[in-house]
Amino acid sequence: MDQRRPLIAGNWKMYKTQSEATETAKQLIRYVGAVTDIDMMIAPTFIALTAVFAAIKNSPVALGAQNLYWEDEGAYTGEISAPMLKSAGCQYCIIGHSERRQYFGETDETVNKKIKAAIKAGLQPVFCVGETEKEREAGQTLSILDKQIKKGLEGLVSEQLDPLIIAYEPVWAIGTGKTATDDQAQEVHRFIRSLVKNNFGQALSDSIRILYGGSVKPDNIASLMAMPDIDGALVGGASLSAESFSQIIKFKR
């Protein structure tokens, strides 16, 4: 739908020192500093947030974090809260990435608490969902997504969900070079939009942005973005180089 402004987001995962991240951010601005027709975001590691924010704050590229803890403050050694991220310049926060679910014990319940904390602090959650290869082969893709989305958004009402962004990242397509086909991705995106409609109403389902993630590259972005329910991309590996990420941002439209 025309009213949805595309968002291309880069998840830098646990890559780049502070100085490498700042350098890449500066290069990126040189490539895309004049882009005005889509939203752009980069999510470096926590420790690089402040330095990267200083490099991008007067540009159209926004800052995102990769995780948060749901309490505002307290004796939670090693954790970082939503208000802290907001004060460091973040506009977005990725929540529930499959790597966090897989390696760090993230569950639908903790994802739900984190989404609530992000919204309360004025951050836009980029809420990640997606099935594993085993689940897809067992024909469980849609039921897994239904559960992740219902539980992840439990207790929230549509009036609170304007800032929400959903990212569909099939686990089998992350970092593997295996992208979902345009039609496979579109089918799931359409299903996710219908879930949002059934649970939160037509207006939110029309306006919510649903990103695709999983081996997005300069040569597959245009056909993914041509799908009616794909509103952007969450890019891992190909966002680490300013050159390839800028090619993705500047896909032919």
| Alpha-carbon span 29 to 52, nearest angstrom | 11
State in angstroms the smallest separation of the CB of 233 from ligand 13P.
Answer: 8
From the candidates 99, 106, 135, 169, which is the catalytic residue? 169
Taking the least distance from each CB to ligand 13P, the nearer of 42 and 117 is 42
The residue sitting closest to ligand 13P, measured at its beta carbon, is: 236
Ordered alpha helix ranges (H), the chain? 18-32, 49-56, 82-87, 98-103, 108-121, 133-137, 141-152, 182-200, 202-207, 221-225, 242-249
169 given a catalytic annotation: yes
Taking the least distance from each CB to ligand 13P, the nearer of 153 and 233 is 233
Binding site for ligand 13P (CB under 6 A): 11, 97, 169, 174-175, 213-216, 234-238
131 given a catalytic annotation: no
Report strand pairing: 165-168 vs 209-213: parallel
Sign of CA dihedral 85, 71, 105, 234: negative
State in angstroms the smallest separation of the CB of 73 from ligand 13P.
Answer: 28
Taking the least distance from each CB to ligand 13P, the nearer of 32 and 204 is 32
DSSP code of 121? Answer: H
Q: How many residues does the chain have?
A: 253
State in angstroms the smallest separation of the CB of 27 from ligand 13P.
Answer: 19
Residues with a known catalytic role: 97, 169
